[in-house]
Amino acid sequence: MKKIRKSVIAALTVALAAIGLAVSPPLAVPAQAASVIGGCPRGAVCFYYSPNEMGPYYPAFNSIADLNTVNFISTNIHVRNNAHSVCNNTSVTVVVFYYPGYSYAGPTESLAPGFCGNFIPQLVNNEASVLIPPPGAVCPANSFCLYYAAGETGSFYAITEGSHIPNLYNEKFTGPGAGQNSAVGRNAHSYRNNLPAGQCATVFSGLTYSGYYQTTFCSNGTSSANNLPNSLINNELSVSTG
């Protein structure tokens, strides 16, 4: 039977070649990235009512300052203080906050792309806001970044390790988001410190590393972020790293 089948295939190949048609092997289908992980659609951060990505869920595609404004799908249950697990199906690291408004005053949890699992104990049924930065809005490594708005939102300006900026009026926010192309001087609200361990950034309220207010942010090798101290919010004019 195998010999007959091979003979038929060979005869068809010769016949097709005779009329100018080529016989090609089947085309390989390229592998596709999974459109969902943990039941969560691509591009979303999904909050689940129950442990282990179970039960009703809500997909967040953008930052939400107060999760009390959204409900789990097909329910009347607010997401805020009611989610037990989460899945990050975005290409960026996102941050979930204990308080609304992206406040670092309480516990937070950073979720790497592709993470699915239960919240840390401090955030189980205690989550109030989520920050999902747009692609390209992530502070580069070995940099100290100033952000236009609270909670690392809006555009950012990166100061690389060992840099000294005497006049932030002359610098522009370059990252995507609100405030892009605005002067950095007296327009920054929050920061992220991605400097190497032992390196510090000092932000000054005056030009050329002066002024009544100044705060130094030193790195322990782990990325950290927060809103600037009240005395420096929209009141920073120079910065030095090293």
**Are residue 235 and residue 148 in the same domain, yes or no?**
yes
79 within some domain: yes
22 within some domain: no
C-alpha span between 155 and 207 (Å, rounded)? 22
pLDDT in tens, the chain (242 residues): 434 333 433 443 444 344 343 333 333 333 233 456 668 999 899 999 999 999 999 999 988 989 999 999 999 999 999 999 999 998 888 889 999 988 777 888 888 889 999 999 999 999 999 988 776 667 888 899 999 998 888 889 999 889 999 999 999 998 878 898 999 999 999 999 989 999 999 999 999 999 989 999 999 988 888 899 999 999 999 999 98
Residue 155 structural domain: 143-241
**Are residue 116 and residue 149 in the same domain, yes or no?**
no
206 within some domain: yes
**Are residue 43 and residue 124 in the same domain, yes or no?**
yes
CATH number at residue 165: 2.60.20.10
**Are residue 117 and residue 184 in the same domain, yes or no?**
no
5 within some domain: no
**Are residue 127 and residue 193 in the same domain, yes or no?**
no
**Are residue 158 and residue 119 in the same domain, yes or no?**
no
**Are residue 43 and residue 107 in the same domain, yes or no?**
yes
**Are residue 117 and residue 172 in the same domain, yes or no?**
no
58 within some domain: yes
**Are residue 170 and residue 124 in the same domain, yes or no?**
no
DSSP-derived 3-state class of residue 227: strand
Q: pLDDT tens across 154-184, in order?
A: 889 999 889 999 999 999 998 878 898 999 9
DSSP-derived 3-state class of residue 69: helix
54 within some domain: yes
Q: pLDDT tens across 101-137, in order?
A: 887 778 888 888 899 999 999 999 999 999 887 766 6
88 within some domain: yes
**Are residue 126 and residue 157 in the same domain, yes or no?**
no
Number of domains in the chain: 2
Q: Of 85, 108, 131, which marks where a domain is finished?
A: 131
Structure letter (DSSP) for residue 160 = E
The dihedral sign for the CA sequence 78, 82, 88, 89: negative
234 within some domain: yes
Q: Of 131, 162, 195, which marks where a domain is finished?
A: 131
Query: Contact, 138 vs 152, CB < 8 A?
Result: no
Q: Of 131, 162, 180, which marks where a domain is finished?
A: 131
**Are residue 98 and residue 160 in the same domain, yes or no?**
no
52 Ramachandran zone, left/alpha/beta (phi>0; psi -120 to 50): left
